[in-house]
Amino acid sequence: MKHTISVLVKNEAGILSSVCDLFSTRGYNIESLTVAATIDSVFSRITIVTNGDDVVIEQICKQLNRLINTIKVVELPKSADKCIDRELILCKVSAKDDVRSEILRISEIFGAKIIDVSPDTYTLEYSGDNRQVMALIALLRPIGIKELVRSGMVAITRENQFINLSK
Amino acid sequence: MTAEQICKTEKMNGARMFLECLRKEGVDKIFGYPGGVILHIYDELYNCDFIKHYLVRHEQAAVHAAEGYARVSGKPGVVLVTSGPGACNTITGIANAYYDSYPLVVFTGQVDSKLIGNDAFQESDIVGITRTCCKHNYLVKNISDLPRVIKESFHIAKTGRPGPVVVSLPKDILTCKTDFEYPDKINLPGYNPTYEGHPIQCRRALKKLCEAQRPVIISGGGVIHSDAWKELRELARRLNIPVATTLMGIGTFPQDDKLSLGMLGMHGNYWANLAVSNCDVLFAVGTRFNDRITGCLKRFCKDAEVIHVDIDPCSISKNVHVDIPIVGDAKNVINVMLNEYNTGKYLYNEELRKLWCSQIDSWKEKRAIRAVENGIMSPQTVIEHIYQKTKDKNAIIATEVGQHQMWTAQLYKFNQPRQLITSGGLGTMGFGFPAAMGAQIADRSRLVFNIAGDGSIQMNIQELMTCVDYKIPIKIAVINNGYLGMVRQWQEKLFDKHYSQTNITSPDYVKLADAYGILGIRVTKEEDIDTALDKAIAFDGPVIIDFVVEPFEMVYPWVLAGKPLNEVILSNNEAGAGD
């Protein structure tokens, strides 16, 4: 079962290593991990997508909390009415004459942008939730994906729920 | 001019500032070994009258000694070593303290900031290397951070679940100068250990214990850290609940008490393991349910409701499913429970308790049987004699790891906490001797014994000279059976007696003692044990006693790894199929 964990950390050297080491030494999986500074550059937010049963996820959250430089650890709710998640992908597709229009049609349907064009390729930029991203990749795959770069998932809670600095 | 005045009047270099920070933390003893990049601190130490530095012979021993010091004094042990090899040699010691949750602050030198990452001479990424074996670590990048980092290090090491903190000090930080100001407040927004247990959970736990028909308490090392042993003893006696201890919890409950079950686990008492296996409510305090005490996890307390008190939330429901978790300091939690009990609203059924205790008493009739009876001096006999000779002397007993460690845990009746010093979690051979040194340094008035195996003692035997230098009069009892006994025991039972690489030779310990200028005694016969012990205790200085014992003795009771706790082997005649 997939879980998204949002970790607010003090922006100090080694904190990303500490988080990654924790996953590897304790045998947890990381499906994706993104990290960047928050509005306050003293802090960074790490969004981790991982999998495991509830006991494992509880341990992961506790272990993350135990790191001295983590300020807050929250497992984000899975339902879409409580939490929004997005992933950015850049996808270079081989675009020979006969499929160029097909790629354009697909990208139009998804609302993806063509950000680079060459005689043989199109590069698409797209952001969406996991289901949409996977659907787009599934459609482009038979046409011929030359290169795929994914940002990993970021997520935010809806409305008035904040993950703020108070622990 | 006093140090206070110096602080105000002139800028201070990092090396001097380091010592002033230690002074502010009340540190007066450190264990260490000098080297290139840390020389500026050693230069400041040259004329320092408020810190006594103990020069060891190997950095690993410095860390173990600091841990021994921490275990006896309750204060963080402090280590100072150089970069590269010096820092790398501390790893085992750091990991050992991390597993057993003892507070250390380990300062390691580092190459000049500008050289970091260039594979400079004696450079090692100690922050990276220790990341998963210490509570927290720092690389000091700016001299103005130094006082804050040191303040935080001591705070982190000794609060919450204690543990080792590593601070890497680049050479240039030690030489540049700035104003010294020691912070008086800690600002660590991500670090707030929970000390107060949730009162509702405490009440639930108490209610559950009173309702229980067959309750058992497991007292772990956390009871020592939180100084909760008095409270735990009171709770057990008021509610009439039998108490088993883990290896790390030995001494938290007096073994001569009628409620004491002694140690549980792989080599624990038969009745302790059976009591835990058959209980209906388990009250576990300050233990992390290591596999050595649970045996087969699926079968561990499978019909019992588990109440678990620990200051580290990660320990709760990590291995064993917990029904009533209480995150908090054991002393506070048990105090809340005792106060609640005093209201008189809680009653337990005394008849059922009596029944349970008599059930346990009936299990006590089954005891381990010695493997070999051939007239050769047995290792257990030696340890029993050490106990008899030292029991009224408030002695500290440090052990290494292996058969002798388990026999000591089984046969020495510890009644006080901080009396047994042993490596539990990491199981570090070579830990006991340097730890005993640190213990003796922490309390010069106590008699300190190091019960060692012939394998373990050779792992840090170089420290004999440190004992000579600083007149550390510890008594080393080498239980010399010519084998790495515990491994040999596994080979005998599980590997068709293929004693692969476990036959280990020793130097002549009496001659070795002579070379170091200390007292060496060899004992081969049971009737000579007492005389040798008397002589060793009376001798004003370090002593090695070489007890040449039966090689093929086994540690029983024995629960084979992965087996449930109630499948106890008590003698060589049992296959281990269980009860």
A68 inside 8 A of chain B by CB: yes
Q: What whole-number distance in Å separates Cα of residue B235 and Cα of residue B254?
A: 14
Catalytic residue among B121, B181, B302, B471: B121
Q: What whole-number distance in Å separates Cα of residue B241 and Cα of residue A27?
A: 38
CATH number at residue A10: 3.30.70.260
User: How large is the ipTM?
Assistant: 0.87
Question: A98 lies in a domain?
Answer: yes
Number of other CB atoms surrounding residue B123 within 10 Å: 18
Q: Which residue has the tokens 């289901």?
A: A131
Residue pair A95/A123 in contact (Cβ under 8 Å)? The answer is no
Distance of alpha carbon A118 from the chain centroid: 28
Residue pair B263/B245 in contact (Cβ under 8 Å)? The answer is yes
A38 inside 8 A of chain B by CB: no
Interface mutation vs chain B, best among A18, A66, A71, most B CBs within 10 Å: A66
Q: Which tokens sit at B28?
A: 């007066």
**Do residue B312 and residue A58 have CB atoms under 8 angstroms apart?**
no
Q: What whole-number distance in Å separates Cα of residue B11 and Cα of residue B176?
A: 9
Identity of the residue numbered B247: L
Q: Which residue has the tokens 């008490």?
A: B257
Nearest to A21 among B132, B156, B190 (CB): B132
Domain final residue pick, A29, A44, A75: A75
Question: A116 lies in a domain?
Answer: yes
A53 inside 8 A of chain B by CB: no
**Do residue B190 and residue A17 have CB atoms under 8 angstroms apart?**
no
Domain final residue pick, A54, A75, A96: A75
Domain final residue pick, A57, A75, A93: A75
Q: Which tokens sit at B90?
A: 């501390």
Find, among A17, A161, A165, the residue nearest to A84 by Cα: A161
To which H or E segment does residue B456 belong?
helix B454-457
Number of other CB atoms surrounding residue B73 within 10 Å: 16
Find, among A49, A12, A58, A1, the residue nearest to A150 by Cα: A49
Find, among B510, B578, B519, the residue nearest to B548 by Cα: B510
- Backbone φ and ψ for B218, nearest 5 degrees, come out as -110, 120
Catalytic residue among B25, B44, B59, B305: B59
A51 inside 8 A of chain B by CB: no
* B122 catalytically annotated: yes
Nearest to B189 among A17, A62, A71 (CB): A71
The answer to whether the bond into B473 is cis (omega within 30° of 0) is no
Residue pair B330/B194 in contact (Cβ under 8 Å)? The answer is no
Q: Which residue has the tokens 């009936």?
A: B362
Do A71 and A87 lie in a common domain? Answer: no
Residue B530 neighbours by CB under 8 Å, 6+ apart? B385, B389
On chain A, the residues whose CB falls within 8 A of the CB of B136 are 68
**Do residue B190 and residue A55 have CB atoms under 8 angstroms apart?**
no
Do A88 and A39 lie in a common domain? Answer: no
Q: What whole-number distance in Å separates Cα of residue B161 and Cα of residue B226?
A: 9
A66 inside 8 A of chain B by CB: yes
- Count of structural domains within chain A: 2
pLDDT tens figures, A117-126? 999 999 999 9
**Do residue A62 and residue B314 have CB atoms under 8 angstroms apart?**
yes
Residue pair B387/B407 in contact (Cβ under 8 Å)? The answer is no
Q: What whole-number distance in Å separates Cα of residue A3 and Cα of residue B300?
A: 30
Enumerate long-range contacts of A80-85, CB under 8 Å, 24 or more apart. A80/A129, A81/A158, A82/A157, A82/A158, A82/A161, A83/A4, A83/A155, A83/A156, A83/A157, A83/A158, A84/A129, A84/A155, A84/A156, A84/A157, A84/A158, A85/A4, A85/A129, A85/A130, A85/A153, A85/A154, A85/A155, A85/A156
Q: How far is B398 from chain A (nearest CA, A)?
A: 31
* Domain, as residue range, for A36: 2-75
Find, among B112, B70, B107, the residue nearest to B86 by Cα: B107
CATH number at residue A106: 3.30.70.1150
Distance of alpha carbon A149 from the chain centroid: 11
Q: What whole-number distance in Å separates Cα of residue B90 and Cα of residue B86?
A: 7
**Per-residue pLDDT, B371:** 86
Question: A20 lies in a domain?
Answer: yes
Residue pair B259/B241 in contact (Cβ under 8 Å)? The answer is yes
Question: A165 lies in a domain?
Answer: no
Q: Which tokens sit at A46?
A: 């790490």
Q: Which domains does chain B have, with CATH numbers?
A: 3-178 (3.40.50.970), 199-363 (3.40.50.1220), 379-548 (3.40.50.970)
In the predicted model, residues of chain A with pLDDT beneath 50 are 166-167
Number of other CB atoms surrounding residue A163 within 10 Å: 16
**Do residue B139 and residue A55 have CB atoms under 8 angstroms apart?**
no
**Per-residue pLDDT, B35:** 96
**Do residue B190 and residue A167 have CB atoms under 8 angstroms apart?**
yes
Do A61 and A20 lie in a common domain? Answer: yes
Do A92 and A65 lie in a common domain? Answer: no
Question: A132 lies in a domain?
Answer: yes
Half-sphere exposure of B127 (CA within 13 A, CB side): 20
Do A98 and A41 lie in a common domain? Answer: no
| pTM for this model (two decimals) | 0.94
One pLDDT digit (tens) per residue for chain B, 579 residues: 455 555 555 689 999 999 999 999 999 999 999 999 999 999 999 999 999 999 999 999 999 999 999 999 999 999 999 999 999 999 999 999 999 999 999 999 999 999 999 999 999 999 999 999 999 999 999 999 999 999 999 999 999 999 999 999 999 999 999 999 999 999 999 999 999 999 999 999 999 999 999 999 999 999 999 999 999 999 999 999 999 999 999 999 999 999 999 999 999 999 999 999 999 999 999 999 999 999 999 999 988 999 999 999 999 999 999 999 999 999 999 999 999 999 999 999 999 999 999 999 999 998 888 888 888 999 999 999 999 999 999 999 999 999 999 999 999 999 999 999 999 999 999 999 999 999 999 999 999 999 999 999 999 999 999 999 999 999 999 999 999 999 999 999 999 999 999 999 999 999 999 999 999 999 999 999 999 999 999 999 999 999 999 999 999 999 999 999 999 999 988 765 443
- Which residues of B touch chain A, with CB atoms under 8 Å apart? 127-128, 131-132, 135-137, 139, 141, 156, 188-192, 312-314, 317-318
Provide the pairing of β-strand B164-170 with B305-310.
Answer: unpaired
* B231 catalytically annotated: no
Nearest to B189 among A13, A22, A167 (CB): A167
**Do residue A62 and residue B141 have CB atoms under 8 angstroms apart?**
no
Q: How far is A142 from chain B (nearest CA, A)?
A: 44
Farthest-apart Cα atoms in chain A, separation? 57
Q: Which residue has the tokens 């105090």?
A: B335
Half-sphere exposure of B512 (CA within 13 A, CB side): 20
**Per-residue pLDDT, A12:** 87
**Per-residue pLDDT, B575:** 65
Query: Which residue does chain A place closest to B157, by CA atoms?
Result: A68
**Do residue A66 and residue B312 have CB atoms under 8 angstroms apart?**
yes
* B486 catalytically annotated: yes
Distances (CA, A) of B37 to B42, B93, B132: 10, 21, 25
A63 inside 8 A of chain B by CB: yes
Do A50 and A92 lie in a common domain? Answer: no
Do A105 and A65 lie in a common domain? Answer: no
